Amino acid sequence: MKAAVLYERRQPLIVQEVELIDPGPRDVLVRFVASGVCHSDLSHWQRDTWSPLPLILGHEASGIVDQVGTQVSRVKPGDHVIIAFGNKCGECAYCRRGEPYLCTPEDPAKNISLRAHARRNSTTVYGFIGVGSFAEATVVPESNCVPIATSVPLEPACLIACGVSTGVGAVINVAHVQPGSSVVVIGAGGVGLNVIQGAHLAGAARIIAVDINPQKLDLAQQFGATHGVNSSADDVAGRIRQLTGGLGADYAFEVIGLPQTIRQAYETVRKGGAAIVVGVATEDAAVQFSAPDLMRSGKRILGCNAGGVRPDIDFPLIIDLWQAGRLQIEELISQRFALDQINEALIALQQGKVTRGILAFA
């Protein structure tokens, strides 16, 4: 199959033939229909991270089951699926307590980020968080496949695997946003816009988008933001205080991954409010808080890994909301790219030129 392989960080991905591993007894071979291009892919291209090389990036994908291992029971060839990224072993303490987004396989050999995904000649090639969707196909454990009805448009459904579920999940599962509340969203990109539509869905009265890119602030309003603050021109803290009756917001979501904007989220919330860290910062990033201020203010700082999403429960729920017209998903896609154009797609994301770009394989 054709795949875009990352050999050296910050250098162009190379589109070439690789050989996928054969599916094991509980694995499924899925042919991709679409893959979103998420900032997490861009970060693993640009930063020196934990992910092993050579690597096929891409983790926000939908497709059609092509082959199944001998013990697979939850899908069959021809089924439409959204692929959940990361480990979903079903056996560890976290999976057993219904927190699959924290899955930590007891046997490190079962970590799907580190298992062989494909081969090129005799070189092992890895698949990013087990998915590797900048390629024509993948092999994943059946527990990573969420089957969906054939009536659901499969191409936009790819965005449910990460951007939509992380954004909506941050609001519903992690922060538990209450009706009538005030919500700040710092970073109105592919994930931040889904925090905005999640907050709208949860009945927030004020949804204040903060971004340095005025076009993203316009988009934010289309997805439910009531106000926009351009943080390269406006006094963010002052403007938010003014919009929230002087107290600060009930919730502030950081959806960029920078220490200064994580700090801004903390400063922006009222006493007792919650700052939710969705953005992925560099491995060495640190943010300072005054311990007595944290104690006295009763503020809460919440980490948000994959939106606290349980794919088997939350993907169907998101599809129902989308089909009922309560979530916009097609509208997130501003540009389609072929696999050969993957480097252009990553650069368009880096330059802030897309709402969400997708690779379309059909």
**Closest distance between ligand PAD and the C-beta of residue 166, in Å?**
4
Residue with tokens 């690779």: 359
Query: To which H or E segment does residue 185 belong?
Result: strand 182-186
**Site for ligand PAD (CB under 6 A): which residue of 30, 81, 209, 255?**
255
Nearer to Zn ion, 35 or 261 (CB): 35
111 binds, among ligand PAD, Zn ion, none (CB under 5 to 8 A by kind): none
Q: How far apart are CA 325 and CA 52, in angstroms?
A: 40
By CB under 5 A, is residue 193 in contact with Zn ion?
no
Binding footprint of Zn ion, residue count (CB under 5 A):
3
By CB under 5 A, is residue 346 in contact with Zn ion?
no
**Site for ligand PAD (CB under 6 A): which residue of 258, 301, 302, 348?**
258
Nearer to ligand PAD, 285 or 362 (CB): 285
Nearer to ligand PAD, 182 or 264 (CB): 264
Q: Which stretch binds Zn ion (CB under 5 A): 103-111, 158-166, 245-253, 353-361?
A: 158-166
Q: Which two tokens stand for residue 359?
A: 């690779």
DSSP string, 37-62: E-HHHHHHHHS--S--SSEE---EEE
Binding footprint of ligand PAD, residue count (CB under 6 A):
32
Q: Where are the alpha helices (DSSP H) in 52-172?
A: 93-96, 154-157, 163-169
Residue 124 to residues 19, 31, 55, 70, 214: CA-CA distances in angstroms? Answer: 10, 20, 9, 24, 43
By CB under 5 A, is residue 40 in contact with Zn ion?
yes
Q: Which stretch binds ligand PAD (CB under 6 A): 123-131, 152-160, 242-250, 277-285?
A: 277-285
By CB under 6 A, is residue 162 in contact with ligand PAD?
yes
**Closest distance between Zn ion and the C-beta of residue 60, in Å?**
5
46 binds, among ligand PAD, Zn ion, none (CB under 5 to 8 A by kind): none
Q: Which two tokens stand for residue 157?
A: 């459904």
Residue 106 to residues 6, 51, 89, 115, 118: CA-CA distances in angstroms? Answer: 29, 19, 9, 15, 24
Q: How far apart are CA 340 and CA 35, in angstroms?
A: 13
By CB under 6 A, is residue 130 in contact with ligand PAD?
no
8 A C-beta contact, residue 167 and residue 191: yes
User: Where on the chain is the footprint of ligand PAD (CB under 6 A)?
Assistant: 38-40, 43, 162, 166, 186-192, 210-213, 216, 231, 255-258, 261, 278-280, 304-306, 349, 352
